[in-house]
Amino acid sequence: MVDMSFLSELITDSAAKIVLFVLDGLGGLPNPDTGLTELETADTPNMDNLARNGICGLLDPVAIGITPGSGPGHLALFGYDPIRYEVGRGVFSALGVGIELGPEDMAARVNFCTVENGIITDRRAGRISTEENSRLCTKIGKINVEGMEVEIVPEKEHRAALVLHGSGLSDRVTDTDPQRVGEAPLKCEPLPGAGGEAERTAKIVNEYIGKVAKLLAAEHPANMILTRGLAKHPNLPKMTDLYALKAAGIATYPMYRAVAKLVGMDLIDAGPTIAGEIEALKGAWDKYDFFFLHYKPTDSRGEDGDFDAKVRAIQEADAQMPLLMELKPDVLAITGDHSTPAILKMHSWHPSPVLFHSKWERRDNVETFGETACTGGGLGRFQAVHLMALMLANGMKLEKFGA
Amino acid sequence: MVDMSFLSELITDSAAKIVLFVLDGLGGLPNPDTGLTELETADTPNMDNLARNGICGLLDPVAIGITPGSGPGHLALFGYDPIRYEVGRGVFSALGVGIELGPEDMAARVNFCTVENGIITDRRAGRISTEENSRLCTKIGKINVEGMEVEIVPEKEHRAALVLHGSGLSDRVTDTDPQRVGEAPLKCEPLPGAGGEAERTAKIVNEYIGKVAKLLAAEHPANMILTRGLAKHPNLPKMTDLYALKAAGIATYPMYRAVAKLVGMDLIDAGPTIAGEIEALKGAWDKYDFFFLHYKPTDSRGEDGDFDAKVRAIQEADAQMPLLMELKPDVLAITGDHSTPAILKMHSWHPSPVLFHSKWERRDNVETFGETACTGGGLGRFQAVHLMALMLANGMKLEKFGA
């Protein structure tokens, strides 16, 4: 566990502008035909130029061999050790769709799914449309359990956020999503020894799901829900307080807006494309000194297993770099929150390549931005949680430690 | 935080001689005209030869992105995690000038400064001479407050050490040095919630400074003092105990003698030049098995912002290497306690290049001692606190860990 709390005592003021550009799931694995990863295959003249004039390396989001979820991957980049700051999946879902979580509220991530004869046949109900999702949420939105206000809000496709607005609840309960088809949905159970609040919470969740199942019985394909990651708001310390930064988050997907909000960033609205995001960045430039810019397609195409589409997604991001560099950020870090190799079709444990550009860094011999080149980069390989200190240092926002 | 306390249980005896040669502030940043750092610019045939026959790497003194003071930088090299062992600046000042600190005594670092119409116009009083400093310390040396013995001892130029020999005092008070000109000196205040001892300490400091101000009123340019880093002796565990080493410190500047003494080294007197230091090393060779050799000019010239002078300082150290190698140390580590790039004119967060020479290390492909070359070195990049274990291991002074 890495305790970066001493950073707060070193914070000093500077006018520097820092940009953290996260290409979600950037890192990859080689295409067996060429031996080159997605990033190495992509034609990225702008990032290559930055790499030549900057310093590169590799980041382990959580630890060597650990495959991070998007939450931990981003928290690390913001300087929060993801092992110390565990945030339930439900919290990201709820914050992502704009639900305000009270200190006693509990949130879960929901999948609409298909159940036949009591057995799950599709954990995503054929990825129903967001519109269908909305209709179903309205239909089951009136359900209350034990007089408790229950809120269900659609995310994209088959995903929704469930919030129990109440008190005396506990997150020490199990998921109802077995994470595989061919099994029945699980009952929500209190963890061993978790006590009365967990027992009550499990009872409420099961009663709620029972009522949902009845209301959805005649629907198809989404005739049931699965819950996971039931959790309370973690109340993380804010970046504003920790680093005295005016921080802006620019992200189009709910999950990433949620994680930005969780650490105290202001969310800047942007169009759905990277060009729109950079337009938003420009608009907010004078009002903030730290910018988190999130780009989703690299991860999506990796999860699709579409190597060539991920290559194109990287190229589309690269094409926008000149617009970003027109703003002349004092410090720019380009990296991923984790790797998503197309040949694995999932997040992976491989370190993320990082490209760091600042007037005050040494140069290295890296000529192109790619995983193998980054292996010999001047930054070496380190835990992502340290990146924030490096960005702050290069922005002259950190005093000397000790005499 | 890195806990190296398990090292003590692995210690075993060997006749090996270990030399840690610290070129203060060694690491740098490239000269924009050449792309080469101070170390890369310097002609260092002897260290290059050692690099070819040794193994190189990069050390982070405290953590990535953290700029260390000299105290933390050295403690790390001696195997003490500087985040765990925080030592007040005042302690270094007092020990550096040879004051014995009792367990209840408090020490502060003092600057003579210039105040005009209540506002600080020069935090260093034009860097008065050490002689002028001595005269002023004698003049104010008779001041006592509340019957407490107060000692003020000159360091170099405008710097002095202040010690309150008393009991019932607390270090939970603020500095009076605002660290910038154009402001009035601050009052010493107890930290919020620090309690009665801190209140009493602040009162004593303010009363003392009030009396000093009166006595210095007619002086110029040094007509006031600023205090910082008021602290007690931290009572660090001694290297002698931790590693069963007979350790000698050879350093000409008070600060470095202080940090050596703090970890239990014997101080060896030496002339002011590197040649004199190596002469002293020779003289002490048979009586010790660990030698800390400190070289200051690399840092001083870096802080001056004089790139070429720092290059020359490195070359002067290199020229003495044959004399050092005549002693045939079993283990030799050459590094810095932090970087001091001339273009920044201050300590920085960049990792320190390290050159490690021992019969029992693997070789790498590093051909010259320089930051970029060290990036590809066989030691990789690691926290400086681990260097001590590596030196001990190469000296065959560590047993196997576990069965």
Asked whether the predicted pLDDT for residue B222 surpasses 80, the reply is yes
Please state the rounded mean pLDDT for residues B149-165.
Answer: 93
> Which residues contact residue B9 at a Cβ distance below 8 angstroms, ignoring those fewer than 6 apart?
none
Nearest to B66 among A389, A391, A403 (CB): A389
CA distance B335 to B321: 14
Banded model confidence at residue B97, pLDDT cuts 50, 70, 90:
confident
pLDDT at B288 over 80: yes
Q: Of B370 and B7, which is predicted with more confidence? A: B370
Sort strands B224-231 and B106-116 into parallel, antiparallel or unpaired: antiparallel
**pLDDT value, residue B86:** 85
Percent of the residues in chain B that have a pLDDT greater than 70, as a whole number: 100
Q: For the stretch A182-198, what's the b/e string if a residue is b when 16 or more beta carbons lie within 10 angstroms of its beta carbon?
A: eeebbebbbeeebeebb
**pLDDT mean over A349-355:** 98
**Tens digits of residue pLDDT in A58-111:** 999 999 999 999 999 999 999 999 999 989 889 988 988 888 898 899 999 999
Q: Does residue B89 carry a pLDDT above 90? A: no
Residues contacting residue B39 through CB under 8 Å, at least 6 positions apart: B26, B27, B28, B314, B353, B369, B370, B371
Beta carbon pairs, A and B, within 8 Å: 88
Contacts of B320 (CB under 8 A, 6+ apart): B274, B275, B278
Looking at the predicted structure, is the pLDDT value of residue B72 above 80?
yes
Cβ contact, residue pair A362, B348, below 8 Å = no
Query: What pLDDT is recorded for position A156?
Result: 87
Inter-chain residue contact A389 with B88, CB threshold 8 Å: no
ipTM of the complex: 0.86
Q: What is the pLDDT of residues B334-361, one digit of tens each?
A: 999 999 999 999 999 999 999 999 999 9
Cross-chain residue pair A403–B83, CB shorter than 8 Å: no
What are A251-308's pLDDT values in tens digits? 998 889 999 999 999 999 998 899 999 999 999 999 999 999 999 999 999 999 999 9
Which residue is listed with tokens 């004698």?
B138
B324 pLDDT band, cuts 50/70/90, is: very high
Cβ–Cβ below 8 Å for B381 and A376: no
Chain A residues with CB under 8 Å of B1 CB are: 3
What does the pLDDT average to over B144-152? 91
Residue % of chain B over a pLDDT of 90: 86
- Asked if the Cβ–Cβ distance from A380 to B376 is below 8 Å, we say no
Residue A343 pLDDT exceeds 80: yes
Please tell me the predicted confidence (pLDDT) of residue A98.
Answer: 82
B249-273 per-position pLDDT tens digit: 999 988 899 999 999 999 999 988 9
User: How confident is the prediction for chain A on average, in pLDDT?
Assistant: 95
Write down the pLDDT at residue A146.
Answer: 87
- pLDDT band, very low/low/confident/very high, at A215 (cuts 50, 70, 90): very high
Q: Which residue has the higher pLDDT, A208 or A3?
A: A208
Q: Which of B69, B109, B371 shows the shortest C-beta gap to A402?
A: B69
| Burial class for B262, CB neighbours closer than 10 Å (0-12, 13-18, 19+) | buried
User: Considering CB atoms only, which of A364, A391, A401 is closest to B72?
Assistant: A401
A245-253: average pLDDT = 95
CB-CB neighbors (< 8 A) of A399 in chain B: 67
Q: Which residues of B touch A4 (CB under 8 A)?
A: 63
d(CA B1, CA B21): 25
Q: Is pLDDT of B3 > 80?
A: no
pLDDT of residue A272: 86
Q: Which letter does DSSP use for residue B5 in this model?
A: G
Computed over every residue of chain B, the mean pLDDT equals 95
Report d(CA B275, CA A358) in Å as an integer.
Answer: 39
Local confidence band at B403 (pLDDT 50, 70, 90 cut-offs): confident
Q: Is A10's CB within 8 Å of B66's CB?
A: yes
Instruction: Give B327→chain A minimum CA distance, Å.
Output: 33
CB contact under 8 A, A402 and B375: no
